[in-house]
A and B are shown apart, each in its own frame.
Chain A
Amino acid sequence: MSEPPLRVAALMAEIDGDVRERLRRHVVKRGGASEYADEDVFEHVRAVLARAADARNLDALLLPELLDGDVEWELQTRLELSTHRPGLLGGTILWAKRRILLPLTRWLFEYSQDNFRRQHLLNRVLFACIEELAIENARLRRDAAARPAPLPPDQGPATSRR
């Protein structure tokens, strides 16, 4: 008789449970939020942040759309050389910037550019986290609004007032 197949999805679910517990203990041990002593709280926070970091499309977020046009929020890593001086002097200055200064400082520019790109990714992940929290908040507000309003204490059910 052939062996039953080993399902990766089921294995990963088992490993994920172990990973979450390892992660929680690791964060608590390093002095993380005391609320994480509660496994349920930790799991809820982890799930919300993981959704933001893994599941959100970082190219389709709301906050950057709202910022667009109002402020220069996006990192500009493109190097544009210019001068306000006109004519031959301006041309000579631009030539010197391109041919002498730029090659001399290229290493610094490229080093910075790499770090700017990392920062840009981090910014987008943080935007995604804010958006995820805002969505969570909107859902909770909608659910809370859909619930019947609690009665004031003096108008509670008759059975509670003898």
Chain B
Amino acid sequence: MKLACVVHRFGADIAGGSESHCRLIAEHLAARHDVTILTTCAHDHVTWKNHYPPGESVAGPLRVLRFPVVRERNLHRFMDISDLVFGDRATPEQQEQWFRENGPETPELLDHLRQHGREYDRVLFWSYRYYDAYFGVPIVADRAVLVPTAEEDPLIHVDALGPLFARPAGFLYLTPEEAELVGSRAPAGKPSAVIGCGLDPAPASVDTSRVDAIGVADPFVLYLGRVDPNKGCEALLRHFTQYADSGRRVQLVMAGPANMPIPDHPLIRPLGFVDAGLREALLARARVLMMPSPFESLSMVLLEAWNRGLPALVNARCRVLRGQVLRADGGLHYGNGVEFGAALDYLLDHPDQARVLGAQGRAYVDREYRWPIVLARIEQLLAETA
């Protein structure tokens, strides 16, 4: 088949969840199909400033077509219209305008779909919340497959999404929770599949000496990803500080670029961005993976941790994370500071049980998220949407 994958940003150095998901899926689909990436010239997800040159290029097995962003995001205007839309006070026109303000506004990408959309057998769109998917899906609706990457945030309740979710020929979801969330708003009977994302088995041996070299001592728990209030890090730091101040000697290692201040605490160790080798070593040596995010549509980090047999402690207020942990029997969840302390105590004080939870997480990844399984589900959906 000739496939197009439409995504708001694309590049090996782009760390966003849906962008990475698109790249991984496209690269694996390219083994059997002719895959073109339709994307923007943006690198920065806040401003959408043009960074890559427009036009055609090649990235491994993929042909990449980039289109320029015609205007950078005006954050004040975006916040103003978000208040209106999320406060349920917006007209249909204002709701549509929200998707323009959110961007990245790339009318040439839409023109390409109008002129060449029928040349592709299927057009896969990532993330319903961006301009390219919201305005692009209706142009090629009969061959569009939407990967919504929806989270339980206020946007999902906006009325403008009803007509959008009615258009694509099929859906690819990341979790059963997302399928339920979006499926309840889409017409019944649309072909769909829950695919998650594929993972290769973790390498058997890892050089963990780098963990010692940077002075991180056992026992430590690990947060992996952008350190950001939107990822639940403020609450994580608050809960952990309270926990550590009660006398428990365990370190919180935060590996990822920080978008917020991290308190100067003897048991909190910020590492900033870490490379793949150190990341693997940290996952191999940590006692528990901490996942405090209140909004997630999949959490690749959680799957990576389970791939290494590491149990997780997740925010129960995020239905997806709680659902994943319960389905996998791969960790514990918490809803407040007291539960955080009790669950972390359990995982640290019962190392045998913690190991079993981690192993059960790995078995869940084996059952659900190995590439052959994920690709078979996608192929079936592509066939069903013919």
Contact: B84 with A78, CB < 8 Å?
A: yes
How many residues on chain A are close to B (CB under 8 Å)? 22
Give the Cβ gap from A54 to chain B, nearest Cβ, in Å.
6
Please report the C-alpha to C-alpha distance between residue A55 and residue B325 in the assembled complex, in whole angstroms.
Answer: 19
Give the Cβ gap from B191 to chain A, nearest Cβ, in Å.
29
Selected contact of B357 from candidates A8, A9, A15, A19, CB within 8 Å? A8
Interface string of B312-342 (1 = CB under 8 A from A): 0000010000000110011111010011011
Interface string of B76-102 (1 = CB under 8 A from A): 000110011001110000000000000
Contact: A6 with B357, CB < 8 Å?
A: yes
Contact: A54 with B331, CB < 8 Å?
A: no
Cβ of B346 within 8 Å of any chain A Cβ, yes or no, is yes
Selected contact of B343 from candidates A7, A15, A113, CB within 8 Å? A15
Q: Which chain B residues border A59 with CB–CB below 8 Å?
A: 88, 154, 157
A residues near B (Cβ < 8 Å) are 3, 5-9, 11-12, 15-16, 18-19, 22-23, 26, 54, 59, 74, 77-79, 113
* Also in contact, A54 and B335, with CB within 8 A (given A6-B353, A74-B87): yes
Q: Which chain A residues border B360 with CB–CB below 8 Å?
A: 5-6
Contact: A6 with B329, CB < 8 Å?
A: yes
Q: Which chain A residues border B317 with CB–CB below 8 Å?
A: 54
User: Can you list 11 residue pairs at the A/B interface with Cβ under 8 Å?
Assistant: A8-B325, A8-B326, A8-B329, A12-B343, A15-B342, A15-B346, A26-B338, A59-B88, A59-B157, A74-B87, A78-B83
Please report the C-alpha to C-alpha distance between residue A19 and residue B346 in the assembled complex, in whole angstroms.
Answer: 11
Interface string of B143-167 (1 = CB under 8 A from A): 0000000000010010000000000
Contact: B346 with A8, CB < 8 Å?
A: no
Q: Which chain B residues border A8 with CB–CB below 8 Å?
A: 325-326, 329-333, 357
Please report the C-alpha to C-alpha distance between residue A12 and residue B357 in the assembled complex, in whole angstroms.
Answer: 13
B residues near A (Cβ < 8 Å) are 79-80, 83-84, 87-89, 154, 157, 317, 325-326, 329-333, 335, 338-339, 341-343, 346, 353, 356-357, 360
Closest Cβ neighbor of A17 among chain B residues = B342
Q: Which chain B residues border A22 with CB–CB below 8 Å?
A: 338, 341-342
Contact: A18 with B342, CB < 8 Å?
A: yes
Interface of B is mostly: helix
* Also in contact, A19 and B342, with CB within 8 A (given A5-B329, A8-B332, A78-B84): yes
* 11 extra A-B contacts, CB within 8 A, seeds A6-B353, A19-B342, A54-B335: A6-B329, A6-B357, A8-B333, A11-B353, A12-B332, A12-B333, A15-B332, A15-B342, A16-B339, A23-B338, A54-B317
Please report the C-alpha to C-alpha distance between residue A23 and residue B340 in the assembled complex, in whole angstroms.
Answer: 12
Q: Which chain A residues border B79 with CB–CB below 8 Å?
A: 113
Q: Which chain B residues border A23 with CB–CB below 8 Å?
A: 338
Closest Cβ neighbor of A59 among chain B residues = B157
* Also in contact, A9 and B326, with CB within 8 A (given A3-B356, A19-B338, A22-B342): yes
Closest Cβ neighbor of B229 among chain A residues = A114
Selected contact of B356 from candidates A6, A15, A18, CB within 8 Å? A6
Give the Cβ gap from B80 to chain A, nearest Cβ, in Å.
5
Q: Which chain A residues border B157 with CB–CB below 8 Å?
A: 59
Closest Cβ neighbor of B88 among chain A residues = A59
Please report the C-alpha to C-alpha distance between residue A54 and residue B88 in the assembled complex, in whole angstroms.
Answer: 21
Q: Which chain A residues border B339 with CB–CB below 8 Å?
A: 15-16, 19
